[in-house]
Amino acid sequence: EVQLVESGGGLVKPGGSLRLSCAASGFTFSSYSMNWVRQAPGKGLEWVSSISSSSSYIYYADSVKGRFTISRDNAKNSLYLQMNSLRAEDTAVYYCARGGRDSPFDYWGQGTLVTVSS
Amino acid sequence: EIVLTQSPATLSLSPGERATLSCGASQSVSSSYLAWYQQKPGLAPRLLIYDASSRATGIPDRFSGSGSGTDFTLTISRLEPEDFAVYYCQQYGSSPPLTFGGGTKVEIK
């Protein structure tokens, strides 16, 4: 069974940092592109970042470029999102999802809530 | 960047009725790489349709997708109580950003 489990969310002050993790199981993690998608309270889905299976290709939404860094450790079946210089508008539930360019997001984690507030 | 516009924003229907949801793209979606997701409150999105018209694993056949180029449609032939939710389209065929539409809420009339 494919499982994606996010962790690392919480309350952080504006300007602070947070690192999200996504633990994958039930599939060959190293064969798939992975993504972070976020959803602000009461709002729609926003794609944040994608990373290819071997980390050769990395993409970011303009809203997070230069502040967020996506990475993965295929030996640990894990995906990460390092978030720096956090702003109030980064407050959202962050989901990791399997898929990417040319493939739909077929599995999603349960999400982890990030709240940026003083 | 491809912008996806979903309409209507809200669809008020009764169980058993047919639902037709639209997704328009600002430019042609490459290879019909268009997906539809269902999201219920407090839960993660679930993939329903990919490649514009292929049903994902385990999705009932009352859900169908159609379209190509810039115009896509999700149809739910007969609404079941569990189908009342928010639906999003997404394109994954062009270089990122892999954009989502703004969503259509299907609510009970």
CB contact under 8 A, A104 and B103: no
Cα(B12)–Cα(B3) distance, integer angstroms: 25
CB contact under 8 A, A101 and B97: no
With left for phi above 0 and alpha for psi between -120 and 50, is residue A102 left, alpha or beta? left
> Residue A46: which of B43, B50, B100 has the nearest Cβ?
B100
Cα(B43)–Cα(A111) distance, integer angstroms: 8
The gap between the terminal CA atoms of chain B, to the nearest Å, is 36
Kindly identify which residue of chain A lies nearest to residue B43, measuring between CA atoms: A110
Q: What is the pLDDT of residues B38-74, one digit of tens each?
A: 999 999 999 999 999 999 999 999 999 999 999 999 9
Q: What is the pLDDT of residues B4-33, one digit of tens each?
A: 999 999 999 999 999 999 999 999 998 889
CB contact under 8 A, B44 and A108: yes
How many C-beta atoms surround the C-beta of residue B61 within 10 A?
A: 7
